[in-house]
Amino acid sequence: MADLNASSQPRSPRGLAILGATGSIGTQTLDVVRLFPDRFDVRALTCGSNVDRLAEQVREFQPSVVTAGSDERAAALRDRVADVDVEVTAGEEGLCDVATRTDVDVVVAAVVGFAGLAPVLAALRAGKTVALANKETMVVGGPLVREVWEEGDGELLPVDSEHSAIFQCLAGESQRTVDEIVLTASGGPFRTRPADTFGDITVEEALDHPNWSMGPKITIDSATMMNKGLEVIEARWLFDLSADQIEVLVHPQSIVHSMVAFADGAVKAQLGVPDMKVPIQYALSYPSRWPAPHERLDWGNLTRLDFEQPDTDKFPCLRLAFDALDVGGTAPAVLNAANEAAVDRFLDEKISFLDIPRVIERTLERVSTTSSPSLDDLYAADAEARRCVEELATAPSN
Ligand code: NAD
Ligand code: MG
């Protein structure tokens, strides 16, 4: 393609740290980097356990530092890149270190789960721009992250497609004129499946998302609709809205990525084919838009867009998330940890699909919440919720 890297002024490449480089968002971020090789210099890559894929990425992108999820994985990674000049580190400390290095300008937070919180806070404190895919960070630590973001020089840009859509709709608008936002949801693979068959749902069926190809945890979250619940909490803190300004609307085609309704009755929506490379690229190019060969909407074949209300009897996780947001304090951290632990057990075939919301609800009932939590309080709430799931998962239906 001609002219992809055309620009009116010469610029130096931006230093990138990609946390969770081997996952779905991480690999698609590297696809975007391949489209714009002159604009980025990949300085750091990290993985949890997939050291083989990370070693391939090291050879292609030549970062100066890489991090694996544990000392054991880091040792395995060191073996695989022994012939390359690259520093290998491990664990949360390693993640926080790469997120704050002086040669890093932009941190792509694409790890999954609670593990994203500490490095995102560290990056914002160090004044970095964070392209945030890891929604669990805002769910667990929304008020704390907002505080660090508002007080420092760091910037937080959404990658999640709905939040990128809202962010794009808000461009040039005053926050005061926002009536409400409408987060669209595909409804997942079980939108039309009768609720009385949910007890038979297999892991394979739950991993078969109709519109998006994503990592296993978020794919299960989409099947339970917890993903939309997490996104409601993420939106509350990213855009500083109240819970009653956030609507959820099921839109099975995933073409309208989300909408903003304004005080004068106007509604703005952002549309496109479901392709995460578009919101990833926007977070990296912001405030510019860069021409790119991503798939276009085919107007000739676009005959209808459907919308329906979510069914919270069938998908109680969505209600649980709104409830946790309402309670506040550590409740969203408990919701998140219970969900992570329950999804892990479902993927391991230890509990059923219907047990996921049951286990989360009972954990929220059992674990007491703290208001205005510190970072330590959030870690404690996370650990306690996981312990509670461990206990409940042995007899979830009692
Ligand atoms: P994934 O499972 O495909 O990838 C996760 C990455 O994080 C991998 O590189 C993995 O090695 C690493 N990782 C996992 N656990 C870790 C740990 N404890 N410590 C350090 N690294 C760890 O997940 P994904 O689908 O790419 O999702 C990443 C994040 O982006 C999630 O928070 C998800 O909700 C969000 N998100 C994903 C999509 C999508 O299309 N995949 C869309 C919107 C938002
Ligand atoms: Mg999303």
Q: How far is the CA of 26 from the centre of ligand 1 (A)?
A: 8
pLDDT at 10: 60
What letter represents residue 136's amino acid? Answer: E
Q: How far is the CA of 286 from the centre of ligand 1 (A)?
A: 22
Q: Which atom of ligand 1 is nearest to the CA of 135?
A: 32
pLDDT at 394: 80
Averaged pLDDT for residues 274-281: 98
What is the enclosing helix (H) or strand (E) of 391? helix 375-394
Of the candidates 271, 222, 289, the one whose C-alpha atom is nearest the C-alpha of residue 24 is 222
Q: How far is the CA of 319 from the centre of ligand 2 (A)?
A: 17
pTM: 0.96
pLDDT at 210: 87
Averaged pLDDT for residues 118-129: 98
The residue to mutate among 19, 25, 230, having the most atoms of ligand 1 within 8 angstroms of its beta carbon, is: 25
Residue whose CA is at the smallest distance from ligand 1 atom 43: 160
pLDDT at 31: 98
Distance of CA 36 to the CA centre of its chain: 23
Averaged pLDDT for residues 120-136: 98
Q: How far is the CA of 1 from the centre of ligand 1 (A)?
A: 30
Averaged pLDDT for residues 342-355: 98
Q: How far is the CA of 392 from the centre of ligand 2 (A)?
A: 29
Residue whose CA is at the smallest distance from ligand 1 atom 20: 48
pLDDT at 4: 41
Averaged pLDDT for residues 40-69: 98
What letter represents residue 138's amino acid? Answer: M
Averaged pLDDT for residues 205-218: 93
Q: Are 208 and 135 in contact (CB under 8 A)?
A: no
The number of C-alpha atoms within 13 Å of 35 and in the hemisphere containing its C-beta is: 18
Distance of CA 174 to the CA centre of its chain: 26
Question: Measured between alpha carbons, how far is 253 from 274 in angstroms, rounded to an integer?
Answer: 9
Percentage of the chain surpassing pLDDT 70?
A: 96
Q: Are 346 and 389 in contact (CB under 8 A)?
A: no
Percentage of the chain surpassing pLDDT 90?
A: 94
Q: How far is the CA of 10 from the centre of ligand 1 (A)?
A: 33
Q: What is the pLDDT of residues 130-175, one digit of tens each?
A: 999 999 999 999 999 999 999 999 999 999 999 999 999 999 999 9
Q: Report the pocket of ligand 1 as residue ranges, CB < 6 Å.
A: 20-26, 47-50, 69, 110-112, 115, 133-136, 160, 212, 214-215, 217-218, 276
Q: What mean pLDDT is reported for the chain?
A: 96
Q: Which residues surround ligand 2, an ion (CB under 5 A)?
A: 160-162
Of the candidates 317, 344, 279, the one whose C-alpha atom is nearest the C-alpha of residue 187 is 317
pLDDT at position 8 over 60:
no
Q: Are 206 and 345 in contact (CB under 8 A)?
A: no
* Strand 129-132 versus strand 106-109 pairing type: parallel
Averaged pLDDT for residues 50-67: 98
Question: Measured between alpha carbons, how far is 65 from 285 in angstroms, rounded to an integer?
Answer: 24
Q: DSSP for 16-66, please give it.
A: EEEETTTSHHHHHHHHHHHH-TTTEEEEEEE-SS-HHHHHHHHHHH--SEE
pLDDT at 11: 77
Residue whose CA is at the smallest distance from ligand 1 atom 39: 214
Averaged pLDDT for residues 342-348: 98
